[in-house]
Every structure is written in structure tokens, then in C-alpha cells.
Amino acid sequence: MAQIKIAVLVGSLRKESFSRKMAKTLMKLAPGPLSLEIVEIGGLPLYNQDLDDSGNPPAAWTGFRELLKKFDGVLFVTPEYNRSVPGVLKNAVDVGSRPYGKSVWAGKPCAVVSVSPGAIGGFGANHHLRQSMVFLDMPAMQQPEAYIGQAADLFDERGDLTNEPARAFAAKFMQAFAAWVEANKTTRQ
Ligand SMILES: Cc1cc2nc3c(=O)[nH]c(=O)nc-3n(C[C@H](O)[C@H](O)[C@H](O)COP(=O)(O)O)c2cc1C
């Protein structure tokens, strides 16, 4: 199987973020063909269409859009804010989706992992994000679903996922994701 390049977008800017710890774990457990890289989104200015229409959009936007083109797929790992997606992640999704007709997301297979210290595992954020994926024409992996709850109990002080059932699930999830991207990827732009 040829190398498959995956952009990892983390929906939290917090230093000790459980979502980032989960993202790093998923990256470590990914099977060989996957090559994963976290694409940082915290420096993207808030989306404002006037800046695209001006013909001189912020360099952070154009750099992000160019960077995303080299990936075959996207892994979203996100907390839940008020039963939805944190603004920083929604902003990144919006920036990548424009200018109209030039979305970097179209056709890229993806998966969504939501992470929360709560019991519901970020279900609301997970499905709000999936709603955008439908419009953006991103084939989103259906199974297994990943709602990682009780996140405060899963990691050790070094940020390693030490909970064995969660670790086994994470490995299984990445195996399925590799197969999903392989089956659904289109040629890189
Ligand atoms: C503005 C805000 C809204 C939140 N809303 C939710 C929520 O709807 N559901 C939930 O499970 N946790 C919610 N939380 C708690 C987060 O799950 C918790 O802060 C978590 O650690 C954030 O993810 P992170 O560790 O990756 O930064 C919220 C936290 C903040 C700051």
C-alpha cells in the first residue's frame, strides 16, 4: 500500500488538551501506510469573506489552504463546546472551504474523534462536525464511531493513553481509518 498522508486537526488550543493527547496517541497507533501530521489552526484569523473578495487574503489562510492540498485525508480530533464544535475548529473548516468553488476539503475522506471528560464523549460536537462534512463533500467514516468519554481518567502524567480498552479501541479505529482513506481517496490536488 502506498503512503497515505493525513492532516490531523485538533479542536483545542489548550496546552494540556485531552484532545491533543488523544490525537498524538492515534498518530502513534496508526498502521504503516498512514503518515500523519498535526496542522495547527490556532493562528488562523477569523473568517471574513471581505478579505477573500479583496484578492489579498491573510497569508495564514493561503498557507493553510496550500498545505491542506497535499493530504489524502483528514482526521479531526475535537472537544465539545456547548454541545458543538469549538469555534477554532469551525473557523479552520470555514477558512479551508473558501473561496467558493475552491474548497480544500472536497472529496477528502475523513474521520471524527470527539473527546470529553464527561460521560457523553462529545457526541454533540462529533455530529455537528459531521453535518459540515456532508456539505463539504468529505466522505466521513461511519464505523467505528469515536466518542471518547471520561478523558481525565485515560491518560498518565506524560500524556500517554494508559487505559487498555481505550488504547485497543484507538488502534482498531486507526486500522479502520487507514482502510477507509485507501478506499475513498482521490488524487492529491
Ligand atoms: C466553552 C466551553 C464549553 C464546554 N462545553 C462542553 C460540552 O458541551 N460538553 C462537554 O462534554 N464538555 C464541555 N466543556 C468541557 C470540555 O470538555 C473540557 O474543558 C475539555 O477538557 C476540553 O477539551 P480539551 O481537554 O481537549 O481542551 C466545555 C468547556 C468549555 C471551555
State yes or no: pLDDT of 187 exceeds 70.
Answer: no
Cα(26)–Cα(28) distance, integer angstroms: 5
CA dihedral 113, 154, 19, 174 (to 10 degrees): -40
Under the banding of pLDDT at 50, 70 and 90, the label for residue 188 is low
Q: 40 CA to middle of ligand 1, Å? A: 19
Q: Please tell me the chain's helix, strand, coil percentages from 3-state DSSP, rounded to the nearest 5.
A: 40, 15, 45
> pLDDT digits over 60-96, tens only?
999 999 999 999 999 999 999 999 999 999 999 999 9
Q: 10 CA to middle of ligand 1, Å? A: 13
Q: Judge if pTM exceeds 0.85.
A: yes
**Does residue 189 or residue 173 have the better pLDDT?**
173
Pocket of ligand 1 (CB under 6 A): 12, 14, 17-19, 79-83, 115-118, 122
pLDDT at 2: 75
The mean per-residue pLDDT over the stretch 144-171 comes to 97
The mean per-residue pLDDT over the stretch 25-34 comes to 96
Task: Return the SS3 of 26.
Answer: helix
Q: 60 CA to middle of ligand 1, Å? A: 26
| Residue with CA at minimum distance from ligand 1 atom 31 | 81
Cα(159)–Cα(155) distance, integer angstroms: 5
> pLDDT digits over 137-146, tens only?
999 999 999 9
The mean per-residue pLDDT over the stretch 15-28 comes to 98
Half-sphere exposure of 107 (CA within 13 A, CB side): 12
Which ligand 1 atom minimizes the distance to the CA of 22? 26
State yes or no: pLDDT of 17 exceeds 70.
Answer: yes
> pLDDT digits over 104-149, tens only?
999 999 999 999 999 999 999 999 999 999 999 999 999 999 999 9
Q: What percent of the chain lies above the pLDDT cut of 90?
A: 96
Q: 110 CA to middle of ligand 1, Å? A: 22
Task: Return the SS3 of 174.
Answer: helix
Phi, psi (5° rounding) for residue 51?
Answer: -70, -35
Under the banding of pLDDT at 50, 70 and 90, the label for residue 35 is very high
Which ligand 1 atom minimizes the distance to the CA of 152? 21
Amino acid at residue number 151: A
Q: 12 CA to middle of ligand 1, Å? A: 9
- Regarding beta strands 34-38 and 4-10, do their DSSP bridges make them parallel or antiparallel, or are they unpaired? parallel
